[in-house]
Amino acid sequence: MNIIVCIKQVPDTTEIKIDPVKGTLIREGVPSIMNPDDKGGLELALRLKDQFGANVTVVSMGPPQADVIMREAFAMGADRAILLSDRKFAGSDTLATSYALAGLCKTLDYDLIIAGRQAIDGDTAQVGPEMAEHLGLPQVSYVCDAKKLDNGNLLVHKENEDSVQVLEVEGKCLLTVLASAFEARYMTVSGIVEAYNKEVEVWNADKVGYDESRLGLSGSPTKVFQSFPKAMKAPGEVHEVSEEEAVELIVNKLKEKHII
Amino acid sequence: MIRSFAENEVKPLAAEVDEQERFPMETVEKMAKLGIMGIPIPKQYGGQGGTVQMYIMAVEELSRVCATTGVIVSAHTSLCMAPILEHGTEEQKMKYLPKLASGEWIGAFGLTEPNAGTDAAMQQTTAVDAGDKWILNGTKIFITNASYANVFIVMAMTDKSKGTKGISAFIVEKGMPGFSIGKKELKMGIRGSATCELVFENCEVPKENLLGQLGKGFSIAMKTLDGGRIGIASQALGIAQGAMDETVKYTKERKQFGKAIAQFQNTQFQMADLKTKVEAARFLVRSAAWKKDNGIPYSADAAMAKLFAAETAMEVTTKAVQFHGGYGYTREYPVERMMRDAKITEIYEGTSEVQRMVIAGHLFK
Amino acid sequence: MELKDYKNVFVFAEQREGNIQSVAYELLGKARDLADTLGEKVVAMLLGCGIKDQAQKLIEFGADEVIVADCPELKDYLSEQYTQVVDQIIKERCPNIVLYGATTIGRDMAPRIASRLKTGLTADCTKLEVVSDEKSNGEPQFRQTRPAFGGNLMATIICPNTRPQMSTVRPGVMQKRQREEGRQGIVTNFVPKFDTSKFKVKLVETIKEDKAMVDIADAKILVSGGRGVQNKEGFDKLQALADVLGGQVSSSRAMVDNGVMPHERQVGQTGKTVRPNLYMACGISGAIQHLAGMEESDFIIAINKDKFAPIFSAADLGIVGDLHKIVPMLTERLKKEIEK
């Protein structure tokens, strides 16, 4: 079985701070990590590899610095790593990104593509399903369990808000998975030693061959009109009032905040 | 990788391991799976083929959250596997290293005796040649990992008349006739590491378990300790870094007189000094490890690294408790444990005084 | 076809087991505002099996027209089946804007459709507006605002060159309109043409989630109790409030140490760090160890008898009073609010 896993290098958003004066993101000193859901996806691929034997190829689109997560993937157990890196991809929205990654996948031999549900820097959850459409593959998103059946099909659990759907998928498909369902293994020491002896293949756009009007900023239907920091929290208010008034205050606040 | 392992698997147990004085066997098993128990051992002996630098970074990261776990790995690697790798015969290496490096077995080292601490030359344990075997008699104390170890590197006097040149090294296995583990020490810090006596009563050790040449035991022990010191220096460095991290976090959260205590200049200046010392310790430690990796003599470097890292760890942890105030003195925060753990790094594998002797010895030779 | 020929604001009216989801009505409320600004119509798409009768309810919540696709293939949500139908409707009717709920259904289907139509999609919008100003050369422009970088930054997104312009919106973000009973509208029956050769995913079964195992770190609403709650009975009051709000109960260290609450519910230094949308601290004084675990919450309400309790410095809304009286009253009041 040949499995492709899509991974992305993201800033650890829990460490991100906003410059209170300029209102911009402070990126300095923020560690870059493999996106957690993608790591869950790699874990699923490696579990399938452990059980049935598989060739696991990780693919990513990003700057050359993303080399680090590719090596991390090697150290966890991936067999091959391809990093799509080209200025032509700069400014891609989800559609342009999915087009680029799908184009790369088309040049590879695969039975299954796994992606993370969403990346913590964008939280869109769109690249996976958009790729599946470009590739004409069936998809299952929010995957919390996946098994291979004797007939070769996959039995996949999709986690919804109130239920789990058990789905049987025939043939090639694309899954997007939840990190919480696939606790990623640690890299091993020998994996780390070997990761630096393996080659991360860096591909540019020409190597894949694209309709270039669909790449990068020009290939992105959505544009960022403006960005701004989340409004700062105003200092709180404290009231010493009757119980009835207190309830009234709370209910009004909850309504104002759309919590009820 | 080691950091996330340490954060997720080791840190949650640190307080409990300390509180209950419990050897974290489950952590050792997990570390074994990941290859942490055999980092700088070549692949042909079942190790991971990593470098000393990788190994000491692992000890640092583990010690950052749990000094007990750090010393388990350090004693196992530097004091047991390293002398076998460096002084053992091919047969000894093939017999012991794969099981040790895979973490199936745990290693320990026995040099210190009730009357031979810093003055290690005063060994009273004896080994007598009985034809097809060695007969060992005596007691070793303060042995890290003792009650969980399967393999021990033990120093014993084979010829008292020759002084230090009469000391030899032996590989002793758990279960050899006449060998038993004595009482467990109740300690101030690193309370999860099993520190016990080793008792030899006509203990029979096979002939082929002599490590290195006859009479070279003291030299092997000193070389082993040179390497071990880089491990302990890393442990101290990890403790210091852990206390720094906790203090930075706490002083940013804790508000007094209307502002975070991190905003007071006293906090900032003291922390800046501590940070500088921690970084300096890190460079000493890494430099010693780099030299060992590259076959450059590192004995003085290891001593300087251990001396400085240990004293830095003690200073940082003491101040960390101070910054935490009353809370720092309670077990709700880890800094009091770190302060207790830090103290031993100034004592074992050569006290700070011994390190100064080693450094001075190189200086004035 | 030119961009200006794309007209009307469409809403995907999500249903599960034949029940139209609340998010559909919320989207209709927003769609109504947008359509009124644009001078266009609101059209709901209702897909399912045996759901035709519910179209009127969508009209009463703001739709001018409901397109109903009612057939056995659409009984349960499946990506390909639903994508084919919505894609066909959009291609036939050429909407200007399409809104979906940012649910496991909407977030599964909308990107698939965006990719099929080669148009833009903006996820998890918290604000949608149509603005005509100098930046849009006086033309009405659809602006979609969403959080990025873990909520640290807000970004306003536009989709200038392709249609439809599509967004997903999380449940609870937009406001429903007051239901207008007897409101008139058109119900259009849509007969899909399925390409069944693409149906590669089969639903084996649906397992209803047992939400007994909860991780307070994932909860959107936490009702948290401290020493002031006193005992198990006190926590029952908090649980009743949490149930009404659809949240979970958490605890300070004091109530874990004395055995009233289990450790996995503890917030703070030695417990969990949480950042829910709403954190209600009841009878929690707010020791630094506790604040460290919850101060990142979006909105914090504190109820405490002691007006000098440090929790009030972290709270957005502080109430000095007796939680044992206020919490049950609030629970009753909220029950009535939600029934409305």
Each residue's pLDDT tens digit, B306-346: 999 999 999 999 999 999 999 999 998 999 999 999 999 99
Q: What percent of chain A has pLDDT over 70?
A: 93
* Cβ–Cβ under 8 Å, residues A39 and A179: yes
Instruction: Give yes or no for C256 touching B (CB within 8 A).
Output: no
The pLDDT of B251-278, averaged and rounded, is: 93
| ipTM higher than the 0.95 cut | no
B135-B137-B141 Cα angle (round to 5): 135
Strand partners, B198: B140, B181
Question: Is the minimum CB–CB distance between B27 and chain A shorter than 8 Å?
Answer: no
Per DSSP, the three-state class of A175 is strand
Q: Looking up tokens 């029934």, which residue turns up? A: C339
Q: C-alpha angle with apex C37: C32 to C39, nearest 5 degrees?
A: 85
**Per-residue pLDDT at A28:** 76
φ, ψ at C324 (rounded to 5°): -65, -25
| Inter-chain residue contact C292 with B255, CB threshold 8 Å | no
CB contact, 8 Å: C292 with chain B?
yes
The strand pairing partners of A229, in sequence order, are: C153
CB proximity C269 to B under 8 Å: yes
- B182-194 residues labelled b (16+ CB within 10 A) or e (exposed): eeebebebbbbbb
Q: Do B255 and C288 touch (CB under 8 A)?
A: yes
- Copy the structure tokens of residue B3: 């950091």
B2 by DSSP, 3-state: which?
A: helix
CA C165, C169, C173, C179 dihedral sign is: positive
Residue with tokens 């390497």: B227
Q: How confident is the model at residue A232 (pLDDT cuts 50, 70, 90)?
A: low
Distance CA B112, CA B105 (A): 22
Residue A20: the pLDDT is 62
Per-residue pLDDT at B232: 97
Active site residue B104: no
How far apart, in whole angstroms, are the C-alpha atoms of residue A91 and residue A95? Answer: 11
Residue B333, amino acid:
Y
- Segment A178-204, tens digit of pLDDT: 998 999 999 989 899 889 889 999 999
The residue to which tokens 């043409």 are assigned: C193
- B207-243 pLDDT, tens per residue? 999 999 999 999 999 999 999 999 999 999 999 999 9
Residue A211 has pLDDT above 60, yes or no: yes
Q: How far is CA A154 from CA A149, A171, C83, in A?
A: 6, 8, 21
Contacts of B32 in chain A (CB under 8 A): none
CB contact under 8 A, B43 and A190: yes
A vs C, Cβ pairs < 8 A, gives 253
What's the rounded Cα separation, in Å, for the pair A7 and A82? 10
Contact list in C for residue B255 (CB cut-off 8 A) is 288
Residue A13 CA, chain-centre distance (Å), reads 13
One DSSP character per residue, B271-289 reads: HHHHHHHHHHHHHHHHHHH
**Which residue, among B108, B282, B134, B135, has the nearest Cα to B196 in the 3D structure?**
B108
The DSSP line for B71-99 is: HHHHIIIIIIIHHHHHH--HHHHHHHHHH
If phi over 0 gives left and psi between -120 and 50 gives alpha, with beta otherwise, what is residue B172? beta
pLDDT of res. A196: 86
In chain A, what residues touch C317 (CB-CB under 8 Å)?
236-237, 239, 249-250, 253
DSSP C59-122: HHTT-SEEEEEE-GGGSS--HHHHHHHHHHHHHHH--SEEEEESSTTHHHHHHHHHHHHT--EE
pLDDT at A215: 96
Tokens at residue C151, please? 């909520």
Closest Cα in chain B, distance from residue C300 (Å): 17
C-alpha separations of B177 from A253, B13, B181, C103 in Å: 77, 36, 12, 69
Average pLDDT, chain C: 92
Task: Report yes or no: B1 at the A interface, CB cutoff 8 Å.
Answer: yes
Q: Which subunits count as partners of chain C given 3+ CB pairs below 8 Å?
A: A, B
Half-sphere exposure of residue A23: CA atoms within 13 angstroms, side-chain side:
9
Choose among A207, A182, A208: nearest CA to A76: A182
- Mean pLDDT per 10-residue interval, chain C, length 340 residues: 93 95 94 97 97 96 97 96 97 98 95 97 94 92 89 88 95 86 96 95 87 71 94 94 93 86 83 87 89 86 91 92 95 87
Tell me the nearest-neighbour CA distance from A168 into chain B, angstroms: 34
Give the pLDDT band of residue A13 (cuts 50, 70, 90).
confident
Q: Tell the burial category of C120 from Cβ atoms under 10 Å away from its Cβ (0-12, 13-18, 19+).
A: buried
3-state secondary structure of C241: helix
pLDDT of residue A256: 85
- Dist. CA C37–CA C169, nearest whole Å: 19
| Residues 6+ positions from B23 with CB-CB distance below 8 Å | B17, B72, B147, B148, B192, B193, B194
Give A130→chain C minimum CA distance, Å. Answer: 5
DSSP structure class, residue B176: -
Chain segment B57-114, per-residue pLDDT in tens: 999 999 999 999 999 999 999 999 999 999 999 999 999 999 999 999 999 999 999 9
Query: What is the DSSP annotation of A46-104?
Result: HHHHHHH--EEEEEEES-GGGHHHHHHHHHHT-SEEEEE--GGGTT--HHHHHHHHHHH
Name chain B contacts of C291, Cβ cutoff 8 Å: 253
- b/e map of C254-284 (b: 16 or more CB within 10 Å)? bbbeeebbeeebbbbbbbbebbbbbbbbbbb
Each residue of A22-67: pLDDT tens digit?
666 677 778 899 999 999 999 999 999 999 999 999 999 999 999 9
Residues of A in contact with B48 (CB under 8 A): 188-190, 193
Provide the 8-state DSSP code for B145. Answer: T
| A contact residues 144-203, partner B, Cβ 8 Å cutoff | 186-193
Collapsed DSSP state (helix, strand, coil) of residue B356? helix
The structure tokens 């047969």 sit at B91
Chain A nearest C-alpha distance from C303 (Å): 9
The two three-digit tokens of residue B240, written as one number: 């210091």
Confidence (pLDDT) at B169: 97
Report the Cα B215 to chain-centroid distance in Å. 25
CA distance C334 to C147: 29
Burial string for A203-214 (b: 16+ CB within 10 Å, else e) reads: bebeebebeeeb
Q: How far is CA B275 from CA B271, B330, C20, C74, in A?
A: 6, 24, 59, 63
The catalytic residue among B19, B246, B349, B353 is B349
